[in-house]
Chains A and B, each alone.
Chain A
Amino acid sequence: GAVVSQHPSWVICKSGTSVKIECRSLDFQATTMFWYRQFPKQSLMLMATSNEGSKATYEQGVEKDKFLINHASLTLSTLTVTSAHPEDSSFYICSARDYGKGTGELFFGEGSRLTVL
């Protein structure tokens, strides 16, 4: 079946540095991908919708200049956390819809755990 892959699965960085997380659809093309953030013992909160070939759409309260999203191809979206701080430490999860089969089923990646020291 369709698979969505994230890389890295975990990353530790120093405060003030930037971190890039990749989300790939492995066997289907995705014009739209979604980025979620999940803090411990909390639900997934939608951060933004990544659109291939155009600007991402951010949810209310999410800083677009801090969380840069680039959807450069039909199989790759990247999330860059700029000038990361400890409060950005979280589990970041992406998802993508496979419309190839007509169902538009949503598939999730395995998540990327970011720890900012």
Chain B
Amino acid sequence: GESVGLHLPTLSVQEGDNSIINCAYSNSASDYFIWYKQESGKGPQFIIDIRSNMDKRQGQRVTVLLNKTVKHLSLQIAATQPGDSAVYFCAENSYTDKLIFGTGTRLQVFP
């Protein structure tokens, strides 16, 4: 079946450093991907998205890279701040319009 997974369950970075969170997906037919941030006890918060006709998209301090050849997605956060500490999920929009979430990576930012 469809699955979206992450390589690292926890990522610890120093404040000010760049963070890279990775995600692998299995459905080569997927054409839309989204990164979400989830803080404890809250719902997912949209960060950035990318369609399959692109390989890179930039937002404010965040960049998403898509490698369709190896079915890999990454989220880069520049100058990581304590407020960036959260769990990050990649999600894959399936052909049925359902959103399938990856396993998640916890980002911990220390001073």
Contacts and interface: CB of A to CB of B under 8 A. Distances in A.
Interface of A: 6, 32, 34, 36, 42-46, 49, 91, 93, 95, 97, 104-106, 108-111, 113
Given A34-B98, A34-B99, A106-B99, A44 B42 contact: no
B41 A46 contact: no
Chain A interface SS verdict (over half):
strand
Contacts of A49: 98
Contacts of B45: 108
Interface stretch (B11-19, B53-61, B101-109): B101-109
B3 to A, nearest CB: 11
B73 to A, nearest CB: 15
13 contacts: A6-B43, A42-B103, A42-B104, A43-B101, A43-B102, A44-B44, A91-B41, A93-B43, A95-B99, A97-B97, A106-B99, A108-B44, A113-B41
